Amino acid sequence: MEKLLAPGHRACAGCSMPTVINLVLDAAGPNTIVATPTGCIEVTTTPYPESAWRVPWIHSLFENAAAVASGIEAALNHFGKNHNVFVIAGDGSTLDIGMGCISGMFDRGHNVKYVCYDNEAYMNTGVQRSSSTPPCTSTTTTPSGKVSFGNPRPKKDMPAIAVAHRVPYVATASVAYPVDLRRKVKRAISIPGPAYIQVNAPCITGWSFEAGTTVEIARLAVETCLWPLYEYVNGELAGVKKIHVKRPVEDYLKAQGRYRHLFRMKGGDEMIRVLQRLADENARKFGLLYEGDVTCTSGE
């Protein structure tokens, strides 16, 4: 099957974002219209006059992709046409700049499927912190140093905000689990009304890891329970991905330059314990572990 995002785009080698787009479009099919806000996705796929999109695609502003998609869906309904309408956007436009329009789209119940590829900072403009940036992450606006362990704020829980809007289908996904991601996209399409899927999408430049290890980094996020995979249907937890062997967060943190300071600074070990407690809380909250689960120590 022809990929609906053509090769030859300008994304970095090792970037997970184009893979996320192709997995989403592979599941949705060619009968799909996509709206995107400003961000890596727009800059790398459509340098004027070129475009890598093989489905109808529109870009407007940083803040209004959800409003644009709402209008598209309303117009299609008016003319009796049936298409999948998607927003595919980064975390900055989703969790920060576009929050008002997303809330309106959710509230009005538009049949729009919103996919956030979450690379946990404003990568396109130089790795500035977003409200999706995890605590203790070094970014250009929350740099680590003598008096800072990096980002001091918690990661905003956008899936919980979507559930609070009574969005019928809400899920998290990972580029390391493509079958699961495609299945969730198809399930989102099958359920009328808005849907929200947030996909963990490692950024090779912003996270600073070895080229070629993107999928391994994404898998470690799941295996440490820092990125739980779950889905909510009509406000009820409908499924989680269980973890057979829960890895310590050090395995995930050591692989990325954005956390390197935690292993060098005095007091960094306590910050690592804080992150481990976040992972442990995820495991407890979502029931990620089997009975008699195994938690291995760092390096095993």
Q: Is the pLDDT of residue 233 over 60?
A: yes
- The confidence score (pLDDT) of residue 198 equals 98
Q: Is the pLDDT of residue 49 over 60?
A: yes
153-191 residue pLDDT tens: 999 999 999 999 999 999 999 999 999 999 999 999 999
Domains with residue ranges and CATH for the chain: 16-286 (3.40.50.970)
pTM across the whole model: 0.96
187-222 residue pLDDT tens: 999 999 999 999 999 999 999 998 899 999 999 999
106-143 residue pLDDT tens: 999 999 999 999 999 999 999 999 999 999 999 999 99
Q: Is the pLDDT of residue 296 over 70?
A: no
Long-range contacts, 156-161 (Cβ 8 Å, 24+): 156/95, 156/131, 156/132, 158/94, 158/95, 158/116, 158/132, 158/196, 158/198, 159/196, 159/198, 159/232
- The confidence score (pLDDT) of residue 108 equals 98
- The confidence score (pLDDT) of residue 2 equals 86
- The confidence score (pLDDT) of residue 187 equals 98
For all residues of the chain together, what is the average pLDDT? Answer: 95
Residue 218 phi, psi dihedral angles, 5° rounding: -65, -40
